[in-house]
């Protein structure tokens, strides 16, 4: 179990919780900490809400992860855990949850971690569905992934004291391990299970610490050696899902999901969301490259490209706006927690005051195995959270009634007064032992057989890409509601069908003959001299020459043309059935990088001055915007702009848009023509 972010469960039956607490012998001392309540038990560790108190009124609620006895007996595992937990404890970054302490008490190893007041991405998405939010706000999705990139870049680039890289890899980047706090911050959790270079210990059993299958990189899914680029792939999966609202890898089983990751072509975001920004799609698809050498080579590079996109598109990414979003989304939960936080703090003080005279534990060690004195105090980072506003009355007489009352209220509050919120409640819920009930008969499910000619078409069910390809039989489909089925295959038109299962109709079959893609494309690269050495990509694939055929209609296609000495240009278009699309793509020479020495002696190669831009259109007219500012209908001439790149958008009367990045040369007139 690797959890340091703990939710407040709904109030439970107090009697059951008191019994559970009593059976665990809690509260009790554990080294310098007081264990108040067990929160959950996993395959490797138990999780506890704990209180740390020290001199001068220092106090803090934290989370203790105590390694299970079976794992304590595994020396290789403990050696690896202590080595890598020591590495994780050195990480101090606003986007990473802090590990405070690693050590041993009474022969049991433990990790002490920061507590975070917020919700993980999975919980946020579930709450949005409950409140009928249509989509995840793109600005917040980008803000979250930017924070992830910043935290990962810091961890990946971390070195030891002599400057040698530690080569830290998280290995489990997923929605459950990224938390957004109620103040709008983004934090990566569970760096305690991270992998790093381990020169002194045996890592043969590190396979016990695995990531979540839908967010594994291809090399991780195959069991190959992994490096930091595996975390970048997982970040790309989350960026895809947050900005499209669709799962990327969702098979009927873990095996089918692994096949999707390793063997299948990945859908492009524009196949899921019409009008998806091409520049953002390029970032997503680069992060999702199967070949890690083609992927982003650092999280910082991905962060940089996201920052450029946010700046160019003027996306309103803001911590303040994220704070307001979280406060509004979880308003009811926050209101119910407010009183629980105060009461829980008072009860924790009362309980801990009864433990002051308990004997010290027989042994207590720091991360390096050295014995600690009873008065030793941890240095806590500012990111940790304490409450000092509440002063509890400390009884001087026997406190057994207080302890009993404290346990009773603690049980009703869920987790020691609700200081933390619990993501995994199974262990606590199991202790309630609800009365036995007769399990209802399973609801009937539908079975769908799908065939296509040619075979090998991708299958989409209600917008989600399946692991299977045609021919396939899909079971466990819901009854009573229409199911949208779509078949896609490169070079062919998509086919769509609707199927509805009922109690009387539990089997259905779809057989489709796929028509060849009916959209053709011809590109005229201007000026003619730029065609020499030019390369054209259509939907990320290189084509011969400057034409393409058998493109599917109804899908957005992305065309990228590059040539040595010219700035790369990108154009997106939506083809209609049987359409022959003609595009004029004008390449602009890259501005010469003339070194310029400032008064301080530093070199600055950025273009200076201003130039003019003329924008035209062939085959019709469109409204032009430059960097988001409207400039009127084509033709538009003589626009005074600063030298450098500008985003130019052409919007037709029926709402279709094309966007390109145009480099305006200093002291010159740059021309660009859209093909409509």
Structure tokens at 386: 């304490």
Q: What distance, in Å, lies between the first and last C-alpha atoms of the chain?
A: 57
CA–CA dist 349, 417 (Å, integer): 11
Residue 352 CB neighbour total at 10 angstroms: 21
667 to 311, 636, 640: CA distances (angstroms): 25, 18, 10
CA–CA dist 321, 324 (Å, integer): 5
Dump strand ranges (E) for 97-228: 99-105, 108-113, 118-120, 178-181, 186-188
Structure tokens at 233: 């792939």
CA–CA dist 498, 133 (Å, integer): 25
- With contact defined as beta carbons under 8 Å apart, do 223 and 210 qualify? no
- Nearest alpha-carbon partner for 628 in 648, 651, 643: 648
- With contact defined as beta carbons under 8 Å apart, do 173 and 152 qualify? yes
225 to 125, 220, 230, 292: CA distances (angstroms): 32, 7, 10, 12
CA–CA dist 394, 399 (Å, integer): 9
Burial class (CB in 10 A: 0-12, 13-18, 19+), 589: middle
- For residue 571, the surrounding DSSP H or E stretch is strand 569-574
**Active-site amino acid positions:** 172
Torsion of CA 267, 271, 273, 274, to 10 degrees: 160
> 256: which residues sit within 8 A by CB, 6+ positions away?
467, 468
460-470 per-residue burial string, b: 16 or more CB within 10 A, e: under 16: bbeeebbbbbb
- For residue 524, the surrounding DSSP H or E stretch is strand 519-526
- What sign results for the dihedral spanned by CA atoms 84, 90, 94, 100? positive
Q: Write the secondary structure of 381-443 as one string of H (helix), E (strand) and C (coil).
A: CCCCCCCCCCCCCCCCCCCHHHHHHHHHHHHHHCCCCCCCCCCCCHHHHHCCCCCCCCCCCCC
CA–CA dist 464, 468 (Å, integer): 12
Q: What is the CA 39 to chain-centroid distance, rounded? A: 25
- What sign results for the dihedral spanned by CA atoms 294, 300, 301, 303? positive
């Amino acid at each position: 179990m690797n959890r340091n972010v703990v939710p407040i469960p709904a109030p439970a039956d107090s009697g059951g919780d008191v019994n559970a607490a009593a059976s665990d012998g809690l509260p009790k001392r554990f080294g310098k900490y007081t264990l108040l309540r067990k929160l959950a038990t996993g395959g490797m560790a138990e999780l506890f809400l704990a209180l740390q108190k020290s001199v001068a009124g220092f106090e803090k609620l934290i989370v203790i992860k105590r390694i299970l006895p079976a794992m304590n007996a595994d020396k290789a595992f403990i050696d690896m855990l202590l080595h890598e937990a020591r590495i994780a404890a050195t990480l101090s970054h606003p986007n990473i949850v802090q590990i405070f302490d690693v050590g041993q008490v009474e022969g049991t190893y433990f990790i002490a971690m920061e507590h975070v007041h917020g919700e993980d991405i999975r919980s946020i998405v579930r709450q949005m569905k409950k409140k009928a939010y249509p989509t995840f706000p793109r600005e917040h999705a980008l803000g979250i992934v930017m924070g992830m990139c910043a935290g990962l870049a810091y961890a990946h680039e971390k070195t030891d004291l002599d400057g040698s890289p530690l080569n830290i890899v998280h290995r489990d980047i997923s929605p459950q391990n990224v938390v957004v706090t109620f103040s709008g911050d983004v934090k990566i959790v569970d760096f305690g299970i991270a992998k790093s270079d381990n020169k002194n210990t045996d890592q043969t059993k590190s396979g016990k610490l695995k990531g979540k299958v839908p967010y594994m990189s291809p090399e991780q899914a195959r069991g190959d050696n992994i490096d930091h680029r595996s975390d970048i792939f997982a970040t790309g999966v989350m960026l895809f899902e947050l900005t499209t609202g669709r799962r990327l890898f969702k098979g009927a089983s873990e095996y089918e999901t692994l096949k999707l990751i390793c063997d299948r072509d990945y859908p492009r975001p524009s196949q899921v969301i019409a009008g998806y920004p091409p520049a953002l799609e390029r970032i997503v698809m680069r992060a999702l490259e199967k070949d890690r050498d083609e992927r982003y080579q650092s999280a910082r590079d991905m962060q940089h490209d996201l920052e450029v996109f946010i700046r160019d598109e003027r996306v309103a990414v803001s911590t303040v706006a994220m704070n307001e979003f979280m406060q509004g989304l979880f308003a009811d939960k926050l209101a119910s927690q407010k009183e629980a936080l105060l009461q829980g703090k008072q009860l924790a003080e009362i309980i801990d005051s009864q433990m002051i005279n308990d004997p010290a534990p027989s042994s207590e060690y720091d991360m390096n195995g050295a014995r600690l004195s009873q008065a030793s105090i941890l240095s806590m980072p500012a990111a940790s959270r304490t409450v000092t506003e509440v002063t509890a009355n400390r009884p001087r007489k026997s406190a057994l009634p207080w302890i009993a009352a404290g346990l009773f209220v603690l049980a009703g509050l869920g987790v020691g007064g609700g200081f933390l919120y619990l993501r995994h409640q199974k262990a606590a819920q199991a202790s309630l032992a609800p009365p036995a009930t007769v399990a209802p008969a399973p609801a009937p499910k539908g079975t769908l057989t799908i065939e296509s000619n040619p075979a090998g078409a991708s299958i989409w069910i209600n917008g989600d890409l399946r692991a299977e390809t045609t021919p396939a039989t899909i079971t466990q489909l819901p009854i009573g509601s229409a199911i949208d089925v779509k078949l896609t295959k490169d070079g062919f038109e998509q086919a769509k069908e609707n199927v509805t299962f009922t109690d009387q109709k539990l089997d259905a079959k779809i057989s489709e003959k796929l028509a060849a893609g009916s959209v053709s494309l011809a590109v005229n690269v201007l000026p003619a001299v730029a065609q020499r050495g030019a390369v054209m990509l259509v939907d990320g694939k290189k084509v011969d020459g400057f034409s393409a055929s058998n493109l599917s209609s109804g899908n957005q296609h992305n065309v990228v043309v590059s040539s040595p000495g010219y700035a790369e240009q990108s154009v997106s278009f939506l083809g209609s059935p049987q359409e022959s699309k003609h595009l004029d793509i004008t390449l602009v020479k890259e501005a010469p990088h003339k070194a310029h020495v400032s008064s301080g002696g530093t070199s600055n190669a950025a273009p200076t001055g201003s130039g003019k831009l003329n924008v035209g259109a062939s085959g019709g007219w469109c409204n032009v915007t430059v960097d988001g500012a409207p400039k009127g209908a084509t033709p538009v001439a003589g626009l005074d702009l600063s030298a450098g790149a500008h985003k130019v958008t052409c919007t037709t009367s029926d709402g279709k848009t094309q966007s390109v990045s145009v480099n305006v040369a200093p002291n010159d007139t740059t021309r660009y023509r859209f093909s409509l």
